[in-house]
Amino acid sequence: MTARGWFLFALMSVVWGIPYLMIKVAVDEVSPSMVVFARCALGAALLLPFALRQGGLPGTVRRHWRPMLAFACIEIIGPWWTLTDAERHLSSSTAGLLIAGVPIVGVALARFLGSTEHLGVRRLTGLTLGLAGVATLTIPHLTGGDARSLTEVLLTVLGYATAPLIAARHLKDVPSLHLTAACLTLAALVYAPAAALTRPAAMPSTEALTALAALGAICTAVAFVAFLELIKEVGPTRATVFTYVNPAVAVAAGAVFLDEPLTAGIAVAFALILASWWCSGRARSC
């Protein structure tokens, strides 16, 4: 991986490791639809002027509207709501750990779609360890009666694993700024009616407003441009390996800021997922 690739990888490991904390804080006071609308609207407001100044945005949308629509639905419109709604019942650290299943699903989907990417023994071992880590978290939630939240996170994982394949196959020539600004604008428009109907009766707290601002500016505007550049740099399957590192940020943030418990199950799952990252993402031969 190039130095630029490692920089983007490190950036994504952090900026998509903290949304779980921000979502947990925000969704305690505003509806999931409002959370998704706020982060999309703020992200679009920050990026759309730069995309328009870059020029060619209307033409890009006309030429690529079908895959752009698919990407927006599968990466943003669906998964961001299911993840946010799930965090009303799941801890932020558990949600972050479960999202580590994205590379596993991504490899399976890539194989199903005829990818010729080589999977060495080390990488297969890593993916297996990651699956074991996700299973360690999944089973208690199934037996604990929280199947809906679990299903919502797994749907999010499916969307997150599928969208990069669409971007790599059909949108690799689309400027990242154009794709991000257009998709966030569409998502904001889609969620605007639901956000208006579920708006809070009173002004949210400073903590909730700060969380929404961080979600829109850092975890959406900055993160999406970096993510799309990472896909172009290292490919769709390897680009999602940073989700093996996100749980470290999610678990640490949940424990420090929300006093979420570090249970034995979380510790085992985290160890397995960390080992899977070591095998899956460290070497080009993986």
CA atoms of 286 and 284, how far apart (whole Å):
6
CA atoms of 87 and 215, how far apart (whole Å):
15
Residue 44: name the closest of 179, 239, 205, 233 by CA.
179
Decide: 7 and 208 in contact? Cβ < 8 Å.
no
Q: What are the pLDDT tens digits along the chain (286 aa)?
A: 678 878 888 888 788 888 889 999 999 999 999 999 999 999 999 999 999 999 999 999 999 999 999 999 999 999 999 999 999 988 887 787 778 778 777 777 876 665 545 556 776 676 677 667 766 766 665 544 477 888 898 899 999 989 988 998 899 889 999 999 999 999 999 999 999 999 998 999 999 999 999 999 999 999 988 888 888 888 776 677 666 677 777 777 888 888 877 777 777 877 777 776 666 554 343 3
- Is the pTM higher than 0.85? no
Q: Which residue has the tokens 């749980």?
A: 247
Signed CA dihedral, 90, 92, 96, 97: sign only: negative
